[in-house]
Each structure stands twice: as structure tokens, then as C-alpha cells.
């Protein structure tokens, strides 16, 4: 679908490039030409500096993992505020957010029969625990939710259901969308069929011996059975034992539990606009990470890119509109900060003239997607022209924003996606292996250049982007 | 050196090919032509089958890690005997070996200041433990043993010495030889200077968050301080904190300890020769593994390749000389099985007409190296000609055998090395990540083909290879 429509989008972008920028001419400092020159200059500055890399380096060195509700989460709030101030952003503050407090606890598991082997695994985010001695049961393998549906009850009841679905490696992350239901909904679905626990093959493209975490959701009032992700080599070993045709018994012990709530915060930093301070360009990244790794690509890069882009804009002088960085609390385990922001800023949302979220790792931006009003078709072309030197190609698929934009998307805020190459992202996503060394500083320069281009363009253009028509949320 | 001398070796091999096989003509079944045809046929069979892959698949599926002296080590003895018999090898037995019993115990470590972070680490093999509460001290970084020598005593005394040497990625494993002294001798050297513990950057080419284990050796009567390997991302994080110029404090807790000895065994399997049963072609691989991973490439592949080659030979009918597979106990932590073999078989060693060890992972064989008597220069050419179809090129560097051949090397046994591509081996070597999925079955086919060629050639050729001159051991 996306591929088929790209040609049309490119043609459109080229047509726009030929017509030049649209909009009324303003004062010299905010004339289309001056604004464009400024944006291009900021793009070049971003390309020649390592501001974003230094930020993610320092965040991972000085804080590391920062799971919502933990001490490190609070340290991350302080770090973000302190750093935003030291970057020269004029206004920095935090807003309280209540987050659920989920404790991972210990995790162990082993194949008991036919051939005993210890397994590398961890609890899915939100999973309940097992009794301290663990749960031992026979394993039944199913590929995915659809395959589970076809299983007779007696094949599932009292068993540990093992979801074996493999994830495809794709640049656009489509493989993740295909495989992730086994994690998000597998435990709830297997519980309803009488399973006693769930194992999944990690939703992952690597074959390293790291289990990949990520949230799972039980249904209100439905059974809550313990659920764990196996590292890919362990999932394959379990499959090989099952392939022997012998009954495979497994023991799983998880110390996971929910323990009420904790206080966290969204951190905000902004450069108030000179002419239209009440019109807001919103750059969003989640501040939290899972408890594994050092949260380098998920989402240290997003934090670093949004702050680095804002710093470049602040250093160039405040733009016409306000540029606001929103570093949210607890994206990973419930979008707490994004929801709190939408609630606390309801009145302002109609004046959000653009929102963009950075939360796709450290691969280069490949495509530009927009969700603009039909009357702003030319604006998309302007932006495409500005991004073309970075090797970013327009794509006709509409922008969707990231998870943290879900709560404000229904307002019709104009959205931009910088669609990143995610070919390698799901090798390290949600694992201990999400560390600084996997980030290519050259990619961060391109991403920072793209982000500052989007932000400065939206903040400086003569006419604000109009609210977009809203499709019903699925 | 090796590169410079290859041309000469190739020329030699081609000259041999032109002269044909040397040696007296025997009976039809053992004539040079018949023998050659048989060897070539076995090579082709190995190339077209997955016998070795199936063996390493089953060993990792049914046994997994098998560290010397553990229950899994004993399970591995049974597995090896059972499997060797089921492959049709006429004579299968085991010989007792006493092995040291080292317990890894728990391992934890953290940077305490300036910026607290948990570290991914493990004890080096043979390390002593810390008090249960751990050791906390300031960290001093040195690149390697030479750099430690230049440090004043007061910079080391009471500190945790952190060896930071990086390992080069090379096809021939030379980078390992350069870096491994920080692991083998670093703790002893730092202890003598008054350090309280040692951390090393893992001796590794990957940047995954797996610490790499491996043995360390204390000196007789010297200080024994606890020693741990950091995963590469953790070593780099520690280096970044040190680069801040602030004092870095570290807490290390290791439960490692030696606990006497345990019983293990060498497993042997042989095809007695029809004409010269007392002349032995020895195929060696160590049966044990470290306690991490499933011992797939270290050394499941070696076990699988030696058994698979022997099976092909047995199926073709017993050769003139005896082909013996020796699967040793405890190579990793002291060469116990290799030493026991040399002792138990002293009288036979002069009749070992060739020895080859497989213990370099699952990369393709690139080069042939030999250590033959000067009178057998033509034999090296014969072998090179036979291996040429597999893309294996002769190298003038003499064969050295692997670690398990150290005890019998002084007898002058003719040696062959199938020098494997080790470019990727040190990404997973001695880690949890040494699992089946990293093995390319196509590589195992080439390796099995090469090994069966060497073994069958040595077992069938009309004249035995002569004992080689012995250089003094270093």
C-alpha cells in the first residue's frame, strides 16, 4: 500500500517545490525567504554537530534505565529539567503524573522434561506473578491468536500456552505490528481458554539470548495468568523439544506484581513564540524506559533529539510560534504522561499547530508522512522540499503520530511522522541490549536535522497549519 | 608472516598434485588410486549431508551447557557414548578423569558513584569470591598488563583495577591472543600490586550485553583477588563515568569458589584399522563447555564434526589404520581430559600417526596447516590437493594443534590444523549467546568434509606419516 502510493506523493512534492512557499509575505524577519533560510541554516547546524548524541550519551551514562515509578524515574525527571535549562531553553517545568507501579521481581523457568534445560526469560510488563514455587505444566504450542482459536478446549486447559509466531524484519516496523498481538493479547486470550500460564517467543528480529519485554493487557474481569517472553534461542530450543513428539513440561516462576501507584512527572521545556505565543509546535518523546538496558534507543534518542532541536531553535532566537518539548512519563506501561498532558492542556489543544513524536530508535529517517488539512496540501510539499536534502522522501500514507499522541490525536492536531528505518530496531528493542554503543552518531545528526527542520518550519511559517479532519479512532 | 608464506605453500601443493600420490602400491582396496577415490567420495558425502549439524542440534537440545564436574557434564558423557554407538562406531568407551569443581555462584556489581548504575558482569573462571556483602573500592583504569607495570604502587593499592583493552576482529583469532592476557594473568598481576579486585572489559568482538567468561590463573602462593568480566557496553559505560574525571566507586559481589574435585570422563570411540590397527589417527574435540549458553560452537561443533567424520568412515568400511575420536573432559578449566589421555596412553603415543583438534567454532575452514616430518613434505601436498575443492588453501605457518593437543604435542605427533574463519566466533565465545541458531549448517558441511578428508587420507595412505621434529615448547 505504502509503496504503491509513494510515486504519487513524490510527484506532489516536486510540484510543490516548483511553486515555492505559499502564504502571505510578512515582515522581513518572518518573510518566507528569511524563514526558509533560517530553517535551512538550522538543518545544516544539526548536521554538523553532535548535540543529540551528547545528550543520549549523558542520559545513558548518568541515569540509565528509568522505569516509571522508580527512583531512577525521578532521577530522570531531575536530569531532564536540569539539562533543558542548561541548554538555554527559556521555560522549563514539570507537571505531576500518577503512574502504576509494576514490580518485575525475579523470573526463572526451565524445561523439566523430556530434557531439562534452564531458559532465559522475563515477565511481560504488567504480568501477574506465580506462586513462589512456580507453576509446572505441560506446554502446548500455537503460532498465534488465530491458531489458539482453532484449538479444542481440552488441548489448552491446564496447559502452558506457548506462542511461537516469528517476527518479520521490515524497515517500517510492519513485522512488529503483525507479531505484537501475541504479547499484548495472548495472555488474556489463553487465560480465557483455561491455560495456566503463557510463554511467548520474544517479539523480536534478533537471535541473541535476550528476552524482549513489553506490556501485556488483561481484560477487565478476565483471568490474569502469568506471562513470560523467552529469548529467541530459548523459544527455538523449546520448539525443538516439542518436535520430538514427547510431552514437554515446563516450570515457570515469576515474582511480578502491581503495587499501587507512584508519583512521576512530564517534563516540559519551551521557547515562547514572539508573535503567536499561544500557537504551539509540540515535540514529544517519552522520558521513561523499560527497566532493562539503559534506555538508549527507547527512548533516549527521542529525548535527545527533541531537546537538541529545541536548543538549536532557541540559540537562533525565538520563532514566531511557541516550540514546546514534552517529555512524557510512563509511555511504556500505559501512556500515563500523554493522557495527563491531554487532560491538563485541553484548552490549549486546538492551538497545537503541529505535533511530532520521536520514538523509533536511531535508524535514519526515510519517509515524511503528514496528516494535514486538505487546504494545507501545499504545506506538505514545502516541508518535503526542505527535507529532501536529508534523503527523506514523502510518502502518501497519512501520519499517525506515535503512541503518546494517541490522546491528543482526536483533536485534529496536524501531525508529522519522520518514518525511520526500523530494520535493526527490533533487535534490541525492550532488552538489556538497548545501550549507547548501538547508536550511530551520523544517524542522530540526520534525525536532529530533520526534526529541527519540521519544528522551525511549523513555528515560522506565515500561516498556521489548519486543524485536520479527524477519522474515527479504531 | 602467514600471508607472506602462503604463495610458496600453494606452489608446493600444485607440484605435488602433478606428481600424484607417493608411496608404495598396495592391494587393490588400498592402492593409492582406490584410497583417493574413497576419500573423495567421503568428502562428497559429507558435503551433501547434515550429519554434523544434526549432532550439534541434538547435543544442544538434549543436554545444553555441560560444565566440568556438573550433573550436565555426566549427562554429556552418557549422551556421547550413546550417540557414538548409535552412529555405528565399532568401539566406544570412556576413561575416568578427575576435574576441579569450580562453582560460579551469584555475581552482581554496580557503579556506586558518581552515577549509580547496575552492571552486567560475571566471575572469571577460577576466580575466588568476595565477602557476601561485596567489595567496594575506587576504580583505576589501565589498558593492559604493560600499562599496569607503569603505574605507581599508590595508584593501584586498595583499588579495583579495570583492564580496558579492546580486542581486534581478525579471521585468524590473532586479536584474541593479543587481548586474552588481561583475563588470564590480569588478576594475578593486579593482586601482586595490592589491588583488591579486578574488572576486565570482556575479551570479545561483539558489543552485545553479554559478559564473556574464560579462565584466569592465580600464581602459586600469590594473592587471589576476585575477578569479573564486564559486558562490553558496561565496560564502555564505566569508561565514560571515569572520563568525567570524578572518582568512580564500584561494588562487586561474587559467590565464586572452588569446591574440591569431581569425577568426569573422556569419551572415546574408534574404528579399528584393518591392516595397521595399532597406528592411530586421532580426532580430538572437547566434550565440556562453559556453564553459559548451550555450548553450541564451543564445542558442540567439535564434538559433532569428529563424530560425523568417524561415522562416514565407519559406514565406508574400516580403513587400514585406526581412526579414534577423543572427546575430552574439562578443556575449559585446565585441560584435565587431555592430560589424562596423554598419561593413560603414553605407550601408544608414538603410534599416533596424526592428530587434529576441532575447537574453533563454526566458521569455514580457510587454510590448511601441517606439522609433518621434512620427509613428509610431499604428503602435505597430497592433502592440500584433496582439500582444494573445499576452498581450503595451504598456509606455510606450521600447525600447532589446539589446547587439548598441548599434552601430546611434545611426542612429535604429526599435526594438521584446519584453520577456521574466526571473524565472528569471538562475538559469542564463552557467553550465554553460544546457541545453535548462530551455526550455519552449510559451514558444518564444509568442515565435516574437510575433517573426513584429513582423517581418511591419513588412515588409508600406504605409508604412515613420520614423527615430526619437536621444537621446544614455549
Of B60, B232, B435, Cβ closest to residue A209: B435
Cα separation, A125 vs A217, in Å, equals 9
d(CA A405, CA A402) in angstroms, rounded, equals 5
Average pLDDT over residues A378-392: 98
Per-residue model confidence (pLDDT) at position B474:
57
pTM above 0.90, yes or no: yes
CB contact under 8 A, B433 and A64: no
At B222-234, the pLDDT tens digits run 999 999 999 999 9
Per-residue confidence at A372, pLDDT binned at 50, 70, 90? Answer: very high
Neighbours of B127 (CB within 10 A): 29
Q: Is the CB of A437 less than 8 angstroms away from the CB of B233?
A: yes
Q: What is the pLDDT of residue A470?
A: 86
| A-to-B residue pairs, Cβ atoms closer than 8 angstroms | 73
Residue A236 near chain B (CB below 8 Å): yes
Between CA B44 and CA B40 the distance in angstroms is: 6
Q: Given CB atoms, is A232 within the 8 Å cutoff of chain B?
A: yes
Q: What was the pLDDT predicted at B444? A: 98
Q: What is the DSSP string of A339-405?
A: HHHHHHTGGGGGGEEEEEE--STTSPEEEEEEE--GGGHHHHHHHHHHHGGGT-EE-SSPP---GGG
Report the CATH number of the B2-100+261-460 domain.
3.40.630.10
The pLDDT, as a whole number, for residue A474 is: 57
ipTM of the complex: 0.91
Binary contact (B237, A435; C-beta < 8 A) = yes
The SS3 call for residue B268 is strand
**Among B255, B139, B151, B254, which residue's Cα sits nearest to residue B193?**
B151
Per-residue burial over A291-309, b if 16 or more Cβ lie within 10 Å, else e, is: bbbbbbbbbbbbbbbbbbb
- In the set B81, B270, B279, B331, the catalytic residue is B331
Interface of B with A in 180-219 (CB under 8 A): 207-210
CA distances for B174 relative to B168, B204, B423, B447, B452, angstroms: 8, 12, 10, 21, 27
Catalytic residue selected from A81, A331, A357, A397: A331
pLDDT by residue (tens digit) across B94-108? Answer: 999 999 999 999 999
At the top level of CATH, the class of B105-255 is: alpha beta
Q: How confident is the model at residue A31 (pLDDT cuts 50, 70, 90)?
A: confident
- Show which of residues 419-448 on chain A sit within 8 Å of chain B, judged by CB atoms: 431-433, 435-438
Q: Which of A15-19, A64-68, A142-146, B86-90 has the lowest mean pLDDT?
A: A15-19
Q: Residue B134 and residue B141: Cα distance in Å, rounded?
A: 20
| Residue entry with cell 531439562 | A116
Pairing mode, if any, of strands A107-113 and A117-119? antiparallel
> Does the beta-carbon distance from A237 to B61 stay under 8 Å?
yes
Spatial contact of B356 and B415, defined as CB atoms under 8 Å apart: yes
Q: Tell me: pLDDT of B123 over 70.
A: yes
pLDDT of residue B96: 98
Given CB atoms, is A293 within the 8 Å cutoff of chain B? yes
Predicted confidence (pLDDT) at residue A13 exceeds the cutoff of 50: no
Interchain pair A436, B64: CB under 8 A: no
Domain ranges of chain A: 2-100+261-460, 105-255
Separation CA A424–CA A439 (nearest Å): 11
Amino acid at each position: 500500500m505504502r509503496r504503491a502510493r509513494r510515486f504519487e506523493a513524490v510527484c506532489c512534492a516536486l510540484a510543490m517545490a516548483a511553486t515555492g512557499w505559499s502564504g502571505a509575505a510578512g515582515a522581513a524577519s518572518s518573510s518566507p525567504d528569511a524563514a526558509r533560510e533560517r530553517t535551512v541554516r538550522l538543518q545544516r547546524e544539526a548536521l554538523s554537530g553532535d548535540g543529540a548524541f551528547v545528550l543520549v550519551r549523558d542520559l545513558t551514562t548518568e541515569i540509565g534505565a528509568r522505569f516509571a515509578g522508580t527512583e531512577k524515574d525521578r532521577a530522570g525527571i531531575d536530569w531532564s529539567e536540569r539539562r533543558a535549562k542548561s541548554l538555554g531553553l527559556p521555560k522549563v517545568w514539570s507537571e505531576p503524573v500518577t503512574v502504576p507501579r509494576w514490580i518485575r521481581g525475579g523470573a526463572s523457568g526451565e524445561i523439566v522434561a523430556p530434557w531439562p534445560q534452564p531458559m532465559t526469560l522475563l515477565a511481560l510488563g504488567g504480568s501477574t506473578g506465580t506462586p513462589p514455587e512456580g507453576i509446572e505444566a505441560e506446554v502446548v504450542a500455537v503460532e498465534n491468536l488465530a491458531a489458539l482459536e482453532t484449538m479444542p478446549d481440552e488441548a489448552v486447559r491446564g496447559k502452558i500456552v506457548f506462542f511461537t509466531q516469528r517476527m518479520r524484519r521490515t524497515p517500517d516496523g510492519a513485522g512488529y505490528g503483525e507479531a505484537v498481538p501475541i504479547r499484548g493479547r495472548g495472555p488474556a486470550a489463553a487465560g480465557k481458554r483455561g491455560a495456566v500460564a503463557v510463554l511467548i517467543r520474544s517479539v523480536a528480529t534478533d537471535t541473541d539470548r535476550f528476552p524482549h519485554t513489553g506490556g501485556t493487557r488483561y481484560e477487565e474481569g478476565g483471568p490474569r495468568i502469568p506471562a513470560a517472553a523467552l529469548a529467541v534461542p530459548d523459544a527455538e530450543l523449546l520448539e525443538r523439544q516439542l518436535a520430538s513428539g514427547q510431552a514437554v513440561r515446563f516450570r515457570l516462576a515469576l515474582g511480578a506484581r502491581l503495587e499501587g501507584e507512584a508519583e512521576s512527572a512530564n517534563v516540559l521545556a519551551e521557547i515562547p513564540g514572539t508573535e503567536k505565543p499561544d500557537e504551539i509546535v509540540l515535540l514529544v518523546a517519552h522520558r521513561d524506559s523499560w527497566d532493562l538496558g539503559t534506555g538508549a534507543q527507547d527512548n533516549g534518542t527521542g529525548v535527545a533529539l527533541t531537546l537538541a532541536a529545541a536548543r538549536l531553535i532557541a540559540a537562533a532566537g525565538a520563532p514566531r510560534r511557541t516550540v514546546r518539548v514534552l517529555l512524557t512519563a510512563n509511555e511504556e506501561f500505559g501512556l500515563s504522561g500523554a493522557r495527563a498532558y491531554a487532560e491538563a492542556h485541553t484548552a490549549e489543544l486546538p492551538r497545537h499547530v503541529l505535533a511530532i513524536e520521536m520514538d523509533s530508535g536511531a535508524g535514519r529517517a526515510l519517509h515524511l508522512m503528514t496528516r494535514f488539512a486538505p487546504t494545507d496540501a501545499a504545506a506538505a510539499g514545502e516541508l518535503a522540499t526542505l527535507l529532501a536534502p536529508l534523503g527523506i522522501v514523502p510518502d502518501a500514507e497519512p501520519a499517525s503520530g506515535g503512541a503518546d499522541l494517541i490522546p491528543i490525536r482526536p483533536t485534529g492536531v496536524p501531525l508529522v511522522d519522520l518514518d525511520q528505518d526500523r530494520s535493526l530496531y527490533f533487535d534490541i528493542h525492550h532488552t538489556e541490549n538497548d545501550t549507547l554503543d548501538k547508536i550511530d552518531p551520523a544517524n542522530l545528526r540526520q534525525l536532529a536535522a530533520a526534526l529541527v527542520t519540521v519544528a522551525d518550519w511549523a513555528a515560522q511559517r506565515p500561516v498556521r497549519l489548519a486543524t485536520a479532519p479527524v477519522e474515527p479512532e479504531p
